Amino acid sequence: MSLRSRLGMFVLTRQEQRTIAFIVLAVILGLLTQHYRHHRSSSSPPSDTGQSTPAKSPLEPAR
């Protein structure tokens, strides 16, 4: 029994191939984004802006 006949059940139409390619691409891009964000956030410590209290909203009345 040849490999081609064993894999006969996996014969896909052009539309199915495109759909699977899109899903695989989306998963790869998601993993790359996750990897990038993880390494980007861990390599640079948060900078201190010098403000210990949050800034007031311009819509809040002064007290």
Residue 56 falls inside a structural domain: no
Residue 3 falls inside a structural domain: no
Residue 25 falls inside a structural domain: yes
Tokens 């896909």 found at: 12
Q: Which domain range does residue 36 map to? A: 12-40
pLDDT by 10s per residue, the chain, length 63: 677 777 788 889 999 999 999 999 999 999 999 999 998 887 555 566 665 566 666 676 666
Alpha helices in the chain (DSSP H): 3-6, 14-43
pTM attached to this predicted model = 0.54
Residue 27 falls inside a structural domain: yes
Quote the pLDDT of residue 24. 98
| Maximum separation of any 2 CA atoms in the chain, in Å | 84
Tally Cβ neighbours within 10 Å of residue 7.
Answer: 9
